[in-house]
Amino acid sequence: MFDEQRRLSWINDIYGHDNRVEGLIYEGLTVDCCKKIGARFIIRGIRYVSDFEYEKAIADMNRNLESEIETVFLTCLPQYTSIASTLVRDVLKYGGDVSRFLPDAVNQSLKR
Protein backbone atom coordinates (compact mmCIF):
# COMPACT_ATOMS: atom_id res chain seq x y z
CA MET A 1 0.00 0.00 0.00
CA PHE A 2 2.89 2.38 0.78
CA ASP A 3 6.24 2.24 -0.97
CA GLU A 4 9.55 1.69 0.79
CA GLN A 5 10.61 5.34 0.58
CA ARG A 6 7.40 6.50 2.25
CA ARG A 7 7.73 3.97 5.05
CA LEU A 8 11.40 4.92 5.54
CA SER A 9 10.38 8.58 5.71
CA TRP A 10 7.91 7.73 8.48
CA ILE A 11 10.60 5.84 10.43
CA ASN A 12 12.90 8.86 10.12
CA ASP A 13 10.12 11.21 11.24
CA ILE A 14 9.24 9.05 14.23
CA TYR A 15 12.80 8.26 15.39
CA GLY A 16 14.74 11.20 13.94
CA HIS A 17 15.42 12.57 17.43
CA ASP A 18 17.06 9.30 18.54
CA ASN A 19 20.50 8.72 17.04
CA ARG A 20 20.39 5.08 18.18
CA VAL A 21 17.78 4.31 15.52
CA GLU A 22 18.46 4.25 11.81
CA GLY A 23 16.13 3.06 9.10
CA LEU A 24 17.39 1.66 5.83
CA ILE A 25 16.15 -0.16 2.77
CA TYR A 26 18.02 -3.25 1.63
CA GLU A 27 17.68 -6.22 -0.64
CA GLY A 28 18.78 -9.74 0.10
CA LEU A 29 19.33 -11.53 3.36
CA THR A 30 18.83 -9.65 6.62
CA VAL A 31 21.99 -11.19 8.08
CA ASP A 32 23.99 -9.90 5.10
CA CYS A 33 22.63 -6.41 5.74
CA CYS A 34 23.50 -6.75 9.44
CA LYS A 35 27.07 -7.76 8.61
CA LYS A 36 27.42 -4.87 6.17
CA ILE A 37 26.37 -2.24 8.73
CA GLY A 38 27.91 -3.94 11.78
CA ALA A 39 24.65 -4.84 13.53
CA ARG A 40 24.83 -7.74 15.96
CA PHE A 41 21.15 -7.94 16.90
CA ILE A 42 17.85 -8.27 15.06
CA ILE A 43 14.79 -7.13 17.02
CA ARG A 44 11.48 -8.80 16.19
CA GLY A 45 8.06 -8.17 17.69
CA ILE A 46 5.69 -10.91 18.80
CA ARG A 47 1.97 -10.59 19.50
CA TYR A 48 0.83 -14.22 19.74
CA VAL A 49 2.30 -17.67 20.31
CA SER A 50 1.84 -18.38 16.59
CA ASP A 51 4.04 -15.33 15.85
CA PHE A 52 6.76 -16.88 17.99
CA GLU A 53 6.75 -20.14 16.04
CA TYR A 54 7.15 -18.29 12.73
CA GLU A 55 9.71 -15.82 14.07
CA LYS A 56 11.76 -18.56 15.76
CA ALA A 57 12.07 -20.41 12.45
CA ILE A 58 13.44 -17.21 10.87
CA ALA A 59 15.77 -16.63 13.82
CA ASP A 60 17.05 -20.20 13.63
CA MET A 61 17.78 -19.83 9.92
CA ASN A 62 19.53 -16.51 10.50
CA ARG A 63 21.63 -18.08 13.27
CA ASN A 64 22.60 -20.92 10.93
CA LEU A 65 23.63 -18.40 8.27
CA GLU A 66 25.48 -16.09 10.67
CA SER A 67 26.11 -17.30 14.23
CA GLU A 68 27.37 -13.91 15.46
CA ILE A 69 24.01 -12.19 14.89
CA GLU A 70 21.39 -12.76 17.56
CA THR A 71 17.62 -12.27 17.34
CA VAL A 72 15.84 -10.64 20.28
CA PHE A 73 12.08 -11.02 20.63
CA LEU A 74 9.93 -8.32 22.18
CA THR A 75 6.33 -8.92 23.17
CA CYS A 76 3.74 -6.17 22.89
CA LEU A 77 1.43 -4.79 25.51
CA PRO A 78 -1.86 -6.71 25.76
CA GLN A 79 -3.91 -3.83 24.36
CA TYR A 80 -1.96 -4.04 21.09
CA THR A 81 -2.14 -7.79 20.42
CA SER A 82 -5.13 -7.53 18.11
CA ILE A 83 -3.69 -4.67 16.04
CA ALA A 84 -2.13 -6.00 12.85
CA SER A 85 -0.84 -3.92 9.95
CA THR A 86 -3.02 -5.90 7.54
CA LEU A 87 -6.15 -4.99 9.52
CA VAL A 88 -5.15 -1.34 9.81
CA ARG A 89 -4.49 -1.16 6.05
CA ASP A 90 -7.92 -2.66 5.36
CA VAL A 91 -9.66 -0.15 7.64
CA LEU A 92 -7.72 2.68 5.96
CA LYS A 93 -8.49 1.35 2.47
CA TYR A 94 -12.22 1.47 3.17
CA GLY A 95 -12.17 4.92 4.74
CA GLY A 96 -12.19 4.01 8.42
CA ASP A 97 -10.45 5.99 11.14
CA VAL A 98 -7.06 4.43 11.93
CA SER A 99 -5.59 7.39 13.79
CA ARG A 100 -5.50 5.63 17.18
CA PHE A 101 -3.39 2.83 15.71
CA LEU A 102 -0.70 4.99 14.08
CA PRO A 103 2.07 7.31 15.29
CA ASP A 104 1.36 11.04 14.94
CA ALA A 105 3.93 11.44 12.14
CA VAL A 106 2.11 8.85 10.02
CA ASN A 107 -1.31 10.32 10.79
CA GLN A 108 -0.15 13.80 9.80
CA SER A 109 1.35 12.47 6.57
CA LEU A 110 -1.87 10.65 5.64
CA LYS A 111 -3.93 13.80 6.17
CA ARG A 112 -1.92 15.66 3.49
The enclosing domain of 75 has a CATH number of 3.40.50.620
Tell me what pLDDT residue 112 has. Answer: 81
Does 9 map to a domain? Answer: no
Residue 55 confidence class, pLDDT cut points 50, 70, 90:
very high
Does 93 map to a domain? Answer: yes
Tell me what pLDDT residue 1 has. Answer: 81
Separation CA 39–CA 100 (nearest Å) = 32
Does 112 map to a domain? Answer: no
List CB contacts of 91: < 8 A, sequence separation 6 or more.
Answer: 97, 98
Does 85 map to a domain? Answer: yes
Could you give phi then psi for residue 94, rounded to 5 degrees? -100, 20
Cβ atoms of 55 and 73 within 8 Å: the answer is: yes
Closest Cα to residue 72, out of 47, 53, 46, 51? 46
pLDDT at 80 over 90: no
What does pLDDT average to over the chain? 94
Does 14 map to a domain? Answer: no
Alpha helices in 43-84 (DSSP H): 49-65
In the chain, the number of structural domains is: 1
Q: What is the pLDDT of residues 90-108, one digit of tens each?
A: 999 999 999 999 999 999 9
Structural domain boundaries, residue 93: 29-100
Does 10 map to a domain? Answer: no
Q: Is 18 helix (H, G, I), strand (E, B) or coil?
A: coil
